Chain A
Amino acid sequence: MPTPEDFIRGGATAAGFALAEKGYSDLGDIGEKALKQFSGATVDPVTGMRSGGLADVLEERLQFQPYTVTTATGSDFGMMQQPGQTLPDGTVAPGEMDYQLTLSPDEQAFYENRLAGAGGMFDAAQVGTADREKEVFDRMMNAINPQRERERLALEGRLQSQGRLGVETSMFGGTPEGLSLAKAQEEAYSENMLTAMTFAGQEQQRQAQLGSGMLAAGYMPQQQLIGALQPGMTGAEQRRQATSQQTGAYGETYAAGLQALLSSALGQAGIAGGFGTSMASAALGGLFE
């Protein structure tokens, strides 16, 4: 027959088992709490506000921060993220990054004008030179034609005064002076033609060069804007790094707190579990002696 001692022993054993079980259960609660604190949603015990775990906080804090770089001439470079896209499985895919270079109106106009000019230059550089040669030649001839006409009239007057206007010779065609003048004028004519051809070719090269120059100049505002990105990106990166560090520090601190809390709870659970086990063990030991 169970003795009171037996009963006491049995009670003690039961109490020990109960304590051990509580310690075991507390360990599970602690793990659950740790999970909730790190990654799951938690209720702020102070404010009662519900919030995500540390991971959510960190995720939120480490979210991309859009920024804009604005140059002194008014152009800007903006970097932002498109809204996330909810996938069929319910997850949300992060939005794509969006980079936007925007020139100021003046620079935009400058850019457009230069590009249009460059286009015109390239178009001109692609056209055959024959028409231009003729145009240049005509202008050159128009410039010297009055002088040519004066020389012709002077010779005509001279020949007339000498009564030689009607001279025709097999050797010279007309008079020797007439041949000399015609030869000089034809040389000037040929020289002008050659000059016009050379000029037209060189002009075409210049047009191509100008087109290139204008094209390069047209992209200059953009280059300048891109040039301005580096300092801007550096600033943003520094900011991001600072945020990252802050967030890291926050996470680590937060995790350390949780770790301490969990360690404490683990200790408590261990104690309860150990005590209960001892009690049960002691109780069970006297019972079976």
Chain B
Amino acid sequence: MAQELTSINLVAPAFKGINTEDSPLAQDPSFAEVADNAVIDQRGRIAARKGLSVITTNKTVLGSGKIRAIKEFKNNAGTTKVFSVGNNKIISGTTTLVDETPGSYTINADNWKMVNFNDNIYFFQRGFAPLIYNTVATGSSGGTGSTVKVLSTVNSASGLDDSTKFGNEILAAYGRLWTADFTDDKSTIYWTTLLSGHRWTGGTSGSIDISQVWPDGYDEIVALAAHNNHLIIFGRRSIVVYSGADNPASMALADTVAGVGCVDRDTVQATGTDVLFLSQTGLKSFGRTIQEKSMPISSLSGTITKDIIATLTTETESFRSVYHPEENFYLLTFVGRDVTFCFDVRGTLDNGSYRATRWPGTGFTSYVRQDNGTLLIGSVNGIGKYSGFQDNSGSYRFQYTSPELSFGDPAKLKFLKKIRPTIFGGENSNIFFRWAYDFNSSSASATITLTSNATSEYNVAKFNVGQFTSGQFLSRNNVNTTGSGGTLSINMESDINGKEMSLQEINVLALLGRTI
């Protein structure tokens, strides 16, 4: 007598993102072994990320270089100007890139950090004289005209003569600029007088040497952050928090954290309620527990810790990150490795981690979120927007691999008969399915083209009224499968080329066999 097929539903597969930390067999099917170029969409499904819509049409000044940093400057009058750096130049514009490098100013590195402060934008990079741009003819900054200038040349500038005090980190907070991470001084932070980003001496300017404050005896300042009237100083292996930073002369040590530091200044992102940063052991955040006078640190990349560490230790260029509340993600890019990890910040898993996906080979080299919510992405192609479903008019591959599925009983042999995925979007796209038994000891694959075979009321005019003029494409194609094994993993890949795609569920029809 024929045995009845067992139907196993994988609802919202990979809804919890990648998990490479737990045992494959013990994993919840909601995790994914691989989730490349994917995000968790608004309905909690794994979906293809958006693409890079390049808007730069003239990138002559960039040459073969890459946009290494982007910053949107908006002055008090509301005038917006996008600055970026690359090819050893200060660049402005998005469609046509314009060289804004001051005359006779030589740049041989693109590790700039730009901050907006008091109607100006400031450019800081270790070993380089800081730059300033403003559109105000006169004012406290003393700048004139609307060109990028060397900060020390503006009126009333002070404290900018010592080239060893050109910091790599710059922070605009509490009415001042703060800088740290100098060529020969890794423990001192300098701040300007109030509201004057060009006056580093006189007034209420000052400095603090925290070489005797590090909890581990020695560390080096990597990054600064402002949060809840605290100045957070990130070292490589420790963190020091000062309270009362609105009055830096009397700000006091509020907390220190040993053993956790920040890898790079450009991984620090303030989310409004928290501060995210990349440590040597993964993505971390400060909990907002000021009332309890402590700063517990939670790991936000607990499901991909090893992957992060492996990527981190082999990174040779730079790190870039962005927090984008509209897309609900924090992107962390290892530029040299050309890998981006996407953390969904809407909620955390049981272990406190964000749901993570991976974007390999994107070529993204910098980010900025504009005030209007647009995410600008820098790359070798110039500047683009995070929109559409093509990367610079090309496709990119969306990939999902499930963990090893035992369907509750790894001792029973499974004869896979059909896979029936429910996929939204991706009309007419080719989907490559691959199923493997017993940890890839054997596998098979099939390709399907997404066509609609589901009854849909969309695009059908009811009552002679075209109420529903468009609808989301849904496909539930069957994939006939072969083979058998104790455990099973399912891989799905598709080139995203203009069509969004998300995986709602996978229905697996299998025949349960004998006990192995």
Q: Which residues of A pack against B, CB within 8 Å?
A: 160-172, 175-177
Q: Are B211 and A175 in contact (CB under 8 A)?
A: no
The contact sample of 26 A-B pairs, CB cut-off 8 A, is A161-B253, A163-B208, A163-B210, A163-B253, A164-B250, A164-B252, A165-B213, A166-B187, A166-B188, A166-B207, A166-B210, A166-B212, A167-B206, A167-B249, A168-B206, A168-B208, A169-B205, A169-B206, A170-B201, A170-B205, A170-B206, A171-B204, A171-B249, A172-B249, A176-B250, A177-B250
Inter-chain CB contacts under 8 Å: number: 62
Residues of B195-251 whose CB lies within 8 A of A: 201-213, 240, 242, 248-251
Contacts of B202 in A (CB 8 A): 170
A159 to chain B, nearest CB (A): 9
Known contacts being A169-B204, A170-B206, A171-B204, is A164 close to B251, with CB within 8 Å? yes
Contacts of A161 in B (CB 8 A): 253
A214 to chain B, nearest CB (A): 59
Give bound CA distance, A34 to B1, whole Å.
204
Q: Which of A162, A163, A167, A176 is most buried by chain B, counting CB atoms within 10 A of its CB?
A: A163
Closest to B240 in A: A163
Give bound CA distance, A165 to B188, whole Å.
12
Give bound CA distance, A171 to B206, whole Å.
8
Closest to A166 in B: B209
Interface residue from B203, B211, B253 paired with A164 (Cβ < 8 Å): B253
Interface residue from A162, A168, A170, A176 paired with B253 (Cβ < 8 Å): A162
Contacts of B242 in A (CB 8 A): 163
Give bound CA distance, A14 to B388, whole Å.
202
B84 an interface residue at 8 Å Cβ cutoff?
no
Give bound CA distance, A177 to B202, whole Å.
19
Q: Are B250 and A171 in contact (CB under 8 A)?
A: no
B179 an interface residue at 8 Å Cβ cutoff?
no
Contacts of A172 in B (CB 8 A): 249
Closest to B214 in A: A163
Closest 5 pairs between A and B when the two form their complex, measured CB to CB: A166-B209, A163-B253, A169-B206, A162-B252, A163-B213
Give bound CA distance, A160 to B210, whole Å.
10
Closest to A173 in B: B206
Q: Are B203 and A171 in contact (CB under 8 A)?
A: yes
B267 an interface residue at 8 Å Cβ cutoff?
no
Q: Are B249 and A169 in contact (CB under 8 A)?
A: yes
B193 an interface residue at 8 Å Cβ cutoff?
yes
Contacts of B206 in A (CB 8 A): 167-171
Q: Are B249 and A165 in contact (CB under 8 A)?
A: no
B370 to chain A, nearest CB (A): 36
Q: Are B250 and A168 in contact (CB under 8 A)?
A: no
Give bound CA distance, A165 to B214, whole Å.
12
Give bound CA distance, A228 to B265, whole Å.
103
Contacts of A162 in B (CB 8 A): 252-253
Closest to B250 in A: A176
A175 to chain B, nearest CB (A): 6
Closest to B251 in A: A164
Q: Are A165 and B207 in contact (CB under 8 A)?
A: no
Closest to B190 in A: A168
Give bound CA distance, A137 to B187, whole Å.
40
Give bound CA distance, A278 to B151, whole Å.
163
Give bound CA distance, A169 to B247, whole Å.
11
Give bound CA distance, A177 to B252, whole Å.
12
Interface residue from A160, A167, A171 paired with B207 (Cβ < 8 Å): A167
Give bound CA distance, A165 to B207, whole Å.
11
Closest to A161 in B: B253
Contacts of A170 in B (CB 8 A): 193, 201-206
Interface residue from B212, B240, B250 paired with A160 (Cβ < 8 Å): B212
Closest to B242 in A: A163
Q: Are A176 and B210 in contact (CB under 8 A)?
A: no
Closest to B253 in A: A163
A129 to chain B, nearest CB (A): 42
A170 to chain B, nearest CB (A): 5
Q: Are A167 and B203 in contact (CB under 8 A)?
A: no
Give bound CA distance, A114 to B386, whole Å.
105
A158 to chain B, nearest CB (A): 9
Closest to B244 in A: A162
A147 to chain B, nearest CB (A): 24
Give bound CA distance, A167 to B201, whole Å.
14
Q: Which of B201, B240, B249, B253 is most buried by chain A, counting CB atoms within 10 A of its CB?
A: B249
Contacts of A165 in B (CB 8 A): 209, 212-213
Interface residue from A166, A175, A177 paired with B213 (Cβ < 8 Å): A166
Q: Are B188 and A163 in contact (CB under 8 A)?
A: no
Closest to A160 in B: B212
Contacts of A176 in B (CB 8 A): 249-250
Give bound CA distance, A169 to B201, whole Å.
8
Give bound CA distance, A167 to B250, whole Å.
9
Q: Are A167 and B212 in contact (CB under 8 A)?
A: no
Give bound CA distance, A161 to B193, whole Å.
25
Give bound CA distance, A289 to B426, whole Å.
222
Q: Which of A160, A161, A164, A165 is most buried by chain B, counting CB atoms within 10 A of its CB?
A: A164
Closest to B193 in A: A170
B12 to chain A, nearest CB (A): 47
Residues of B118-133 whose CB lies within 8 A of A: none
Give bound CA distance, A164 to B208, whole Å.
7
Give bound CA distance, A166 to B212, whole Å.
8
B298 to chain A, nearest CB (A): 24
A153 to chain B, nearest CB (A): 15
Contacts of A167 in B (CB 8 A): 206-209, 248-249
Q: Which of A161, A175, A176, A177 is most buried by chain B, counting CB atoms within 10 A of its CB?
A: A175
Closest to B189 in A: A166
Give bound CA distance, A167 to B210, whole Å.
8
Give bound CA distance, A161 to B249, whole Å.
15
Give bound CA distance, A169 to B203, whole Å.
9
Contacts of A171 in B (CB 8 A): 203-204, 206, 249
B342 to chain A, nearest CB (A): 36
Q: Are B249 and A163 in contact (CB under 8 A)?
A: no
Give bound CA distance, A172 to B203, whole Å.
10
Give bound CA distance, A124 to B203, whole Å.
52
Contacts of B240 in A (CB 8 A): 163
Give bound CA distance, A165 to B202, whole Å.
20
Give bound CA distance, A168 to B211, whole Å.
14
Give bound CA distance, A170 to B253, whole Å.
20
Contacts of B207 in A (CB 8 A): 166-169
Give bound CA distance, A177 to B250, whole Å.
8
Closest to A158 in B: B252
Q: Which of B208, B210, B212 is most buried by chain A, counting CB atoms within 10 A of its CB?
A: B208
Q: Are B211 and A166 in contact (CB under 8 A)?
A: yes
Give bound CA distance, A162 to B253, whole Å.
4
Contacts of A160 in B (CB 8 A): 212
Give bound CA distance, A176 to B244, whole Å.
14
